[in-house]
Amino acid sequence: MIIKAYVYLDEAHSIGAVGKTGRGVCELLGVDTADVDIMMGTFTKSFGSCGGYIAGSKELIKYLKYTCPAHLYATSISPPAAQQIISSIKVILGEDGSSRGAQKLARIRENSNFFRSELQKMGFEVLGDNDSPVMPIMLYNPAKIPAFSRECLNQNVAVVTVAFPATPLLLARARICISASHTKDDLLKALEVISRVGDLVGIKYFPAEAQKQQSENDDPHKED
C-alpha cells in the first residue's frame, strides 16, 4: 500500500542515549533507517554542543538548502562546537579507543530504569518506556504546576514543568531527564524530594506499591 506521506523521526531526546550503541530509536526498535524519510536531531543534549541536523535523501537535503530560510540566513557552526560533536560521537561509538561510551550508555539505561521504577512504585503516573532517560510525571491540574515546581526547588531539586500550550490544558506534566553522570545518591535524593512533594500537592494518582501489598494482605476474602 502506498501512503502519500513522509515518515519524520524526531530524535532530539534519543540520539546518543538509547539503543545498544546509542544510535537512537531505530536501533532500539530494529527499524531500518532507510525506511525513515526524514531524521532530525539536536547536538545540544547527548553531544553537549549546539545546533542540530536533518538527515534524508540527497534530493531532500538539496531542496532544504535552497529553500529553508533558517539555512539561507544562518551562519556555519563554529569549529569548537563542531569538534565537540565529532569528539562526542567518537566516544559514544568507541572510536576514541576507550569503553567510556559503552559505559555511559549502560549507566544511563540503568539510572533511567531505576528512577522510572521507583517513581511508579511511589504511585506517580509516569509516561514513556523503559530505557528512555526522559520521563514525564503527570500533574494534570494546571494549579499543581507551580506548586510542584516551587516546592521541589525549595528543597533544592530543580524540575522542568511542561504545560499549555506545549500540552493540552489538562495534561500538564513535570519532565525528568536522567543523565549517565547522575550518581545513585543524586537519584535517591531527587526521589526522596519528589515523593515528599508529590504527597504534599497530591499527584500520586496510583496506590504506592507497599500500600498495594498491604491491602492484599488485609483482604479478608483472600485465601491462604
Mean per-residue pLDDT pooled into runs of 10, the chain (224 residues): 84 92 93 94 93 93 89 86 96 94 96 97 94 95 95 95 94 95 96 97 88 52 52
pTM for this one? Answer: 0.83
Residues 6 or more apart whose CB falls under 8 angstroms from that of 60 comprise 37, 38
Pinpoint the residues of the chain covered by CATH 3.40.640.10.
8-93
Q: In what order do the strands lie in the sheet with 52-55?
A: 8-10, 38-42, 52-55
Q: Assign a CATH topology to domain 100-211.
A: Aspartate Aminotransferase, domain 1 (3.90.1150)
pLDDT at 75 (0 to 100):
83
- Number of other residues whose CB lies within 10 A of the CB of residue 162: 14
CATH of region 8-93: 3.40.640.10
Residues 6 or more apart whose CB falls under 8 angstroms from that of 106 comprise none
Pinpoint the residues of the chain covered by CATH 3.90.1150.10.
100-211
pLDDT at 71 (0 to 100):
79
